[in-house]
């Protein structure tokens, strides 16, 4: 049965419109901005987020920074991470164990260091001037025993090899320690009786209204680094490799220095 001419024309118009829509969709996909998925802990996150913003705007790239306690993001990172950053060498090792086959631990590159610091309440009501003041009887000290701070307080208190210093600190330590920095921050806010928070200096830089910083005096000062690694997926994405180079560049150094990190 022969179709009416107007029907044939309408059908042809429909095909033309459909082809145009498909072409636009393909063109949109082809020209979509690349997306880089970056995962890591909360400590380096403020610097990472600023770096992602500046790099993304300059290169027309979307850089997604997902940061916080590992259980919150590790499952997703196994499937789509291009870059992983850490808050200490032991943490990067833990990430490699939690994401087997996602990246090669030997490819991880240390970026910048930050020192441990003594955080006190605004106004420093207990007059803490250095680590030995933290040892005074009755000072309540908050510390973290997980994530990138495993063994940190013991390293600090045992730095001089004097067991009495470590004993005095431990008597003031609130037990159990916080499992991670996010939990410690919550306890610091909720428990006003805590006098001292032993943590990295960068947490005070990111939260100046919550605490006042007293620099850790020698010989008790300890440093740990933030490192970065391309996943196998990221190694195949040129933009991900460029982002890592940006973190290592003078522009990246300036960003990390702003957030309290020690840069060359």
pLDDT, tens digit, 9 for 90 and up, residues 139-165: 999 999 988 899 999 999 999 999 999
| pLDDT digits 0-9 by tens, 205-221 | 999 999 999 999 999 99
Percentage of residues in the chain having pLDDT higher than 90: 86
In percent, the amount of the chain with pLDDT more than 70 equals 88
The residues that bridge with 62 in the sheet, in sequence order, are 35
Instruction: Please give the full DSSP string across 223-248, using - where no structure is assigned.
Output: EEEEEEEE-TTGGG-HHHHHHHHHHH
pLDDT in tens, 7-51: 454 555 544 455 555 554 444 444 578 999 999 999 999 999 999
Which tokens is 225 given?
């680094």
Contacts for 217 with CB less than 8 Å, ≥ 6 apart: 130, 131
Rounded distance, CA 172 to CA 28, Å?
60
Give the mean pLDDT of the chain. 91
Q: Give the Cβ contact number of residue 131 at 10 Å.
A: 24
Residue 53 confidence (pLDDT) above 70: yes
Is residue 225's pLDDT more than 50? yes
For residue 186, give the H/E element and its range. Answer: helix 181-190
Q: How far from each other are the two terminal CA atoms of the chain, in whole angstroms? A: 82
* pLDDT of residue 101 exceeding 60: yes
- For residue 66, give the H/E element and its range: strand 62-67
pTM for this model (two decimals): 0.84
- As a whole number of angstroms, the distance between CA 57 and CA 51 comes to 10
pLDDT of residue 5: 55
- Quote the DSSP letter at residue 32: S
The length of the chain is: 264
Could you tell me the pLDDT band of residue 264, with boundaries at 50, 70 and 90?
confident
Note the pLDDT of residue 145.
93
In the three-class reduction of DSSP (H, G, I as helix; E, B as strand; rest coil), residue 65 is classed as strand
């Amino acid at each position: 049965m022969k179709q009416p001419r107007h029907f044939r024309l309408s059908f042809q118009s429909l095909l033309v419109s459909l082809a145009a829509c498909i072409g636009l969709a393909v063109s949109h996909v082809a020209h979509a901005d690349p997306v880089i998925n970056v995962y890591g802990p909360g400590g380096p996150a403020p610097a990472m987020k600023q770096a992602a913003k500046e790099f993304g705007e300059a290169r027309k790239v979307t850089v997604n920074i997902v940061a916080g306690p590992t259980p919150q993001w590790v499952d997703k990172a196994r499937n789509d991470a291009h870059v992983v950053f850490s808050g200490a060498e032991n943490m990067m090792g833990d990430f490699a164990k939690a994401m087997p086959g996602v990246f090669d631990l030997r490819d991880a590159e240390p970026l910048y260091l930050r020192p441990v610091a003594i955080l006190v309440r605004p106004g420093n009501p207990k007059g803490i001037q250095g680590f030995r003041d933290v040892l005074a009887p009755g000072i309540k000290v908050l510390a973290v025993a997980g994530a990138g701070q495993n063994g940190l307080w013991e390293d600090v208190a045992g730095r001089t090899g004097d067991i009495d210093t470590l004993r005095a600190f431990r008597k003031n330590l609130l037990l159990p320690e916080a499992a991670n920095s996010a939990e410690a921050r919550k306890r610091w806010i909720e428990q006003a009786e805590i006098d001292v928070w032993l943590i990295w200096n960068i947490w005070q830089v990111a939260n100046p209204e919550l605490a006042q910083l007293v620099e850790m005096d020698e010989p008790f000062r300890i440093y740990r680094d933030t490192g970065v690694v391309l996943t196998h997926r990221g190694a195949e994405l040129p933009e991900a490799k460029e982002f890592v180079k940006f973190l290592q560049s003078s522009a990246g150094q300036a960003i990390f220095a702003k957030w309290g990190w020690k840069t060359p």
